Every structure is written in structure tokens, then in C-alpha cells.
Structure 1
Amino acid sequence: MKKQFIAAGFVGFFFLFPVKGLAANFSNIYIFGDSLSDTGNIFNFTQNLENQLPSVPPSPPYFNGRFSNNKIWVDYVGETLNLNPIPFSENPNIFNQSINFAVGGASSGFGNAVVPNVPLPGVLEQVSLFTQTFLSTNPQVDPNALYAVWGGGNDYVFGTDPNPINTVQNLSNALNLLATFGAKNIMVFNLPDLGRTPLALATMGLAPILTDITVAHNTQLATSLDIFKSNQPDINVIDVDVFSLFNQVADNPRKFGFTNVAIPCVVGSLISINSVCDIEQQNDFLFFDSVHPTTRAHSLVADAALLALESKSVPEPGAVLGMLAVGALGAAGVLKRQQKQSAFTQANPVLVGQSSHTMVEN
């Protein structure tokens, strides 16, 4: 299996592989994960706790319950597919619309790594909650929906005994649970290099440790996915490689429009913010706070996810053209969104389940 990595530039090649109207392929989209995918769940939960906890994340400077300065990948992908998921904390009708179950701080399994004393669901727990609710009135979950799973980062940053084997097993259990009850289209993200986050870079000795853990996690996840695909040949598994994407951006920031990849825009913690960069400069940063990407970075993740979807329905290009096409998609996506949006820590992070890479067989 060869991996097609995210490369910068080469906008001309984008037109060789246009993203089709994918909305017709999926009836709904369901999201399971942590703060990297949360569009308001933990914000709604903590608001309802009144004086027990401050609202997380604080808005402003964070955008509408998202751990970023504006839209995140869930928003961008949802807009493209015309399937905009509603946070499950807003009590949507689970049976006829897209829903986002992701909760900031979610562990890969059960509970919350950042707010441990509040009953907030981990990634596996979110999937279990969804399947139990859906199956209460249906023989199976919607086979025509798209299911996205991204988690694990909180286990390593906040876990007392981080172990990639246990974390990946939780994610594998989540995938198998979805498959068992009828899911046919599952998108899985790997983790970006946690050792290259501002949090790790600012903590002596932490960066190499988190890099090693990330590599071990992604290797274990790839192996687990190979087994899953072999055992479930009728399921469409969409791999999204965030690890390669973020390393490409960190190594070549200016090609992607970034000027700062090591220092966050927001300095402080989620409950005590010391400073925030000027709003005009926010998307010059790869990271909005010490672990969460800016909306520009999220737009690149969305482009990688959409290309991974597209690669399932068109003949796969050669490795070199594949690299150019992915980079072109990222560049074109950023330019398009810059035209649409004129405005869009070192924080005590609610690190959402980070994982994603577009592993495409060639």
C-alpha cells in the first residue's frame, strides 16, 4: 500500500481531479471525536453547568463553541456535501438529520480526559450512544450515511498511562460497532504529529516523546485498519492522513499561506487567556492555541478529506500526480475560502481526537 502525501502548490493540477457533487452519495453525516471535530457540544454542556465550570471554549476569542478562530473541518466538509451536522447537545432528531457527537476533551474510549468529573462521552462511548439510540426504532443504522471517526490525542496528552495499543483498540471497537449495525461508509483520521504542537515545543523534553507516541499510534491504527478492511470488504473505508498533511505544512509553511507554525495565536489557558494575536493575523498561524489548528489549517484537513472521498469514486492517479493533485486541492481550497471569508493557547487544551491520513492504495 502506497501513501499519497499532501503537497503544496501546483494549482493547475487541481483541475485534473475536480471534486464532484458528492452530496448525492450520502443521506447524512455523523461525526465522532474530540475537540478537533466538536462544533459546540462541550460548550453547550459547560454553559449548562452554570457556576460549576466556565464555558469551554470561551467565545470570543474562540468561534461559536469551536476550538478554533472560525469554522473547522466538519463545517467545511458539511457545506460541500450539503449535510451540515447539528451538535447532539442541541437535541436534534437523530433519525433524519446529520449529527455531530464529538466532544472536546473526549478520551478514545469512555469519559473525558479534560473534564473527568462530568459525564461526557468518549469516542467509543459516542458511537455506542448513537447505535443504541438508532437501533431503538430501526433494524440498523443508515447504510447510506457517512460516518467519521477521529480521536486518540487526549489519551496521550492527558492520559495517566498512554498506550497506543489500548487507544487504537478503542477506535477499532468503535469502527466494528458501526460496521456491525450497518454502516457502509466510514472515514477514519490518523493523528498529526503531537510533538510539533506549540504545547509540546514549549515543554522541555515533551516533543520527542509525543512524536514517538504519534508514530506508534498511526502505525498501530494503519495495521488495525488493514485488518478491518480485510474482515469487512463490503465497507467503504476512507482514510485521511493528517500526519503527512501537517508535516508538509510545518516543513513548508509559506507554501500554504502560514508564517508561524511553532507559536500559537492565543497564549494562556482556556480559563485564563493572556493574549490573542490581531484578528487580521490569525490565519497566518497554523495553531490558534497550543494544540488546536486555525480555520485555515482546518480547511486543509477538509480538502484532504474530500479528496479521500473523491479518490474512492475515480481512477486513482499515479503517485506523483496524486501528490500534485492533493496539494492543488489544498491551495485552491484556501484561495476559495479567502475570497468568501474576509473575517473569520498555549491553552489548557481540550485536545480533540486527532487522527487522519489519506492512505490510498495505488
Structure 2
Amino acid sequence: MKTKIIAASFITLSSLLPLKASAQSITGLYVFGDSLSDTGNTFNLTGGLVNPATAIPPSPPNNPAGYYQGRFSNGEIWVDRVGQQLGLTSTPITSLFPTLDFTKQPSIPFPTQGLNFAIGGANSGEENAIVPNLGLPGVLQQVSLFQALLQANQQSLDPNALYAVSGGSNDFLFPKPSVDPTKPKPYENIAQSVSTLAAMGAKNILVFNLADLGTIPAATLNGRNPTELTQATQEFNSNLAKSLDAIRKNQKANIIEIDIFSLVNRVKQNPSEFGFTNVTDACLAQFPICNNDQSEYFFWDAFHPTTAGQKLVADAVLAATTPESPTTIGLLALGALGAVNSISRLKKKSVLNIMSKVTNK
């Protein structure tokens, strides 16, 4: 019960009514994002099936310091946990299309339980901040690829599935030397991704805001300015929340905002409440010291949470998608009342980064 109480406080509802989504009615899980949600796409695209030790993220067999099966963490991430609870398997898109070229293989059987398009390093709109030379899609491009895949298979979007969108941190943590002022801003890309899904017929859309990028271990590495990152985070989250409100008014979609910003801040302020003893350092930076107590660390590397941190994200998502419990409904309603006109956010993943960058190699 404590987990649900904590998780419920990080959810902002689109209304005070029970969510349209429920564990019984959700028929698929579709994910668009970056390393926070990547269950193996970047790993596959960078040769992980051939040489897991040099892929991104590096996942050497039997190495306690390696990443877990292509995830940017030391274990399962929120997508895995939520899928298990809902009885759904969200297939990594690269398991079907190793090159992400749908036009060459348009007739591959379409998974019925969902797809995961999330790619570590994805920018909010186009391209990839970590692997810039492979033509990997940003979050908005992932949504466009989903549209193309549906068209290629002559299928329509499943309105009873759950759709998740996260991203934006890579735009700030790995900024380009010059930014085109005519290009959409990161929050606009995420909002457009949500709007596009709603226009396609998605009824239940999860949206994650950003954790405070100025407080993650990477904030002081490679010349980054923590103060500027915190300001960028706050502006992104505030503008995203306003944009999502506008989408609600114009499109019939149940937008469920997960407030990652508040979640991570609360963990940092009260680590023992969540079972952590270290919420400032990256576990990998202290190997092998942290090897025996990885679950007590919130950060696995300088950017990403441990699987214990990812579980908190999963708990928040599950609280939003299982309103059957009267207690949960009441808690969510109270959370919504307290969050009126506040920034409704969700966690986007604290960006992805290859191990070499994480350890400043």
C-alpha cells in the first residue's frame, strides 16, 4: 500500500474521473522515447547481438559492471515491469526491423501486444545525440515510423492500447554546437508526438516529464552547467504541461502525466523512504565498492537510474493504469486536486550514454 501511496502522488490526471485505461482493458503497450525506455533497440543497432561488450550500452556476459541485456540500467526497466503486470510484451522494433527500414520488409507479422520504438540517445525530434551517424530516429520520428509501419501492414492503431512518450533530456545534456532557432523546441516535439498519436486514435497516452537534469551525476561532467540544466528542465516541464493541456482541449485523448521531476526530487530529499542510501553518486563510478549493494543506489551511471529507481517509475505508471482499487482512485483524485495548475511531469529517463562517456573515458 505504501508503494501505491507514493506512486499516486506523482501522477496528474486529465480529470478527477477514473482513468479510461485499466489493467483489464489494456490490449497493448507502445513506447516511444530514449534510454529511459529502451529495452534493447540501441544495443541491437550497434551490434550487440554480435559483440555485446562493445555495443551501446556495453553488456558483457557475466560482468557485474555491465548493463543488463541492452538496457541502460543494471536490471529491468519500467517497460519490463509494467509489461509483466499487464501481461503484455512490448517487442523492441529492432527485433523485427534490424535497420528500421519498414519499406523493405513491410509484411513481417505485426506483434499483437505492442512495440517499443525507444532508442537510447534519441533527441526529442530528430536524430540521436549519442550515435549520430546511423540515422537513428528521435522521438517524434519514432512516432512517424509507427505510422509508416501501420500503413505498410494495412492496420489501424489499437485504441485500447497504452501509449507512452518520453524524451527531451538528450537535447539539453548533449546540445548541438549551433541550434537552429526555426526548429521546434524539445517540449514542442514531445507535445507533437502526443498530438499525433491522439490524432491517430490513441485514447490513453502516458507522458513523462524530465527529472531535474541539474542534479544528476552527469550535471557536473564535461563542462555542463548544473544551474543552466535545472533552468532548462523547469522551462521544458512547464511548457510541456501547458501544451498537453491544450491537446486535451482539442483532441479526445486521456493524457496521463507522470511527474518524474517530483519523484526524483522526493527520492533525493528522503532516500530512506525509498530504500536508498546513496542518491548522489553513480554506482558504476564506485565499482567494485557498490557491487554488493547496487539496490541502495538510485543512479546506475551518471545519467540513468538503477533498476530500483526504474521500479519507482513502473509503480507510478501502474498506479495510473490500475484504477480498480477504490483506495488508488481516491489517492489519484487527491493528487490531481493538489496538482491543479502545477507542472504535470513524468520521467523521461535521465538520458542515455555509453559507458565510455559515463566514466569520462
- Fold similarity call, TM over 0.5: yes
Counterpart Cα distance in 2 of 1:96 and 1:201:
43
State the 1:312 CA deviation: 9.3
- 1:253 corresponding residue in structure 2: 271
- Tell whether 2:73 aligns with 1:68: yes
- Structure 2 counterpart of 1:296, from 283, 308, 325: 308
Gaps of 5+ in 1: 11-18, 268-273, 324-344, 351-362
- The answer as to whether partners of 1:9 and 1:255 remain within 8 angstroms in 2 is no
Cα–Cα, structure 1 residues 93 and 151, in superposed 2: closer, same or farther, change >3 Å? farther
Please report how far the alpha carbon of residue 297 of structure 1 lies from its aligned counterpart in structure 2 after TM superposition.
0.5
Identical positions, percent: 44
- The one-letter amino acid paired with 2:90 is P
Amino acid corresponding to residue 319 of structure 2 in structure 1: L
Kept in 2, the 8 Å contact 1:111–1:119? The answer is: yes
Q: Give the equivalent residue in structure 2 for 1:111.
A: 127
In 1, Cα distance between equivalents of 2:69 and 2:229: 29
The within-5 A match list for 1:138-217 is 138=154, 140-160=156-176, 166-201=185-220, 206-217=225-236
Q: Quote the Cα distance in structure 1 between the aligned partners of 2:209 and 2:137.
A: 20
Aligned to 1:129: 145
Structure 2 counterpart of 1:122, which letter? G
* Amino acid aligned to 1:199: A
- The equivalences for 1:1-362 within 5 A come to 7=6, 22-47=22-47, 54-60=54-60, 61-91=66-96, 93-138=109-154, 140-160=156-176, 166-201=185-220, 206-232=225-251, 234-267=252-285, 275-311=287-323, 316-317=329-330, 322=335, 348-349=357-358
Measure the CA separation in 2 of the matches of 1:202 and 1:107: 20
Structure 2 SS opposite 1:262:
strand
1:296-321, Cα deviation, whole Å (9 max, x unpaired): 00000111111122359968536896
Amino acid across the alignment from 2:304: H
Q: CA deviation at 1:276?
A: 4.4
Q: Secondary structure of 1:25's partner?
A: coil
The 8 Å contact of residues 37 and 77 in structure 2, kept in 1 or not, is answered as yes
Letter in 1 for 2:38: D
Between 1:154-163 and 1:291-300, the stretch displaced more is: 154-163
**Matched residues in 2 for 1:318 and 1:96: separation?**
32
Identify unmatched segments of 5+ residues in structure 2. 10-18, 61-65, 97-107, 337-353
Give TM-score scaled by structure 2 length. 0.77
Contact 2:90 2:114 in 1 (8 A): yes
Q: 1:242–1:133: structure 2 CA closer, same or farther, 3 Å change rule?
A: same
Give RMSD over aligned pairs: 3.2
Aligned residues of 1:290 and 1:347 also touching (Cα < 8 A)? no
With the length of structure 1 as denominator, give the TM-score of the two structures.
0.77
- Partner Cα separation in structure 2 for residue 229 and residue 75 of structure 1: 28
Q: CA 1:191–1:54 in 2, change beyond 3 Å: closer, same or farther? A: same
Residue deviations 1:137-184 (CA, integer Å, cap 9, x gap):
436311111110000000000122578961111112211221222111
Aligned residues: 308
Q: Secondary structure at the match of 1:307?
A: helix
Q: Secondary structure at the match of 1:348?
A: helix
